[in-house]
């Protein structure tokens, strides 16, 4: 279960508020957030190849990401009780 969000836009979007920046991939992002919310382990996310689960490095060390599309990612930190600090971001 998702514990927290990083950034007001991501939190608003997850709460059902229209976010202009996310309009072009709204359905895909909603589906990925549902998958992330249902995951009990990182392995659950890795089991779906379309997620393209990645372990990040550099200034995002300690985070993981799943892809929404070629440009946008959902970045998060995985704790023993699930994902936290969820952020929808233009990773490039």
Taking the domains of the chain in order of start, what are their residue ranges?
8-90
Tell me the pLDDT tens digit for each residue of 17-69: 999 999 999 999 999 999 999 999 999 999 999 999 999 999 999 999 999 99
Top-tier CATH class for 8-90:
alpha beta
pLDDT at 16: 97
The pair of structure tokens assigned to 66 is 């799943």
The pTM is what? Answer: 0.94
CA distance 45 to 66: 8
pLDDT at 57: 96
CA distance 63 to 59: 9
pLDDT at 77: 98
Say if residue 73's pLDDT is above 90: yes
- What does the CA dihedral 53, 21, 19, 42 come to, rounded to 10 degrees? 10
């Amino acid at each position: 279960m998702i514990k927290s969000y990083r950034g007001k836009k991501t939190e608003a979007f997850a709460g059902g508020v229209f976010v202009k920046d996310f309009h072009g991939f709204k359905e895909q992002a909603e589906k990925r957030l549902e998958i992330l919310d249902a995951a009990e382990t990182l392995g659950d996310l890795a089991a779906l190849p379309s997620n393209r689960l990645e372990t990040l490095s550099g200034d995002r060390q300690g985070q993981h990401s799943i892809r929404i599309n070629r440009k946008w990612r959902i970045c998060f930190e995985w704790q023993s009780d699930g994902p936290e600090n969820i952020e929808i971001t233009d990773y490039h």
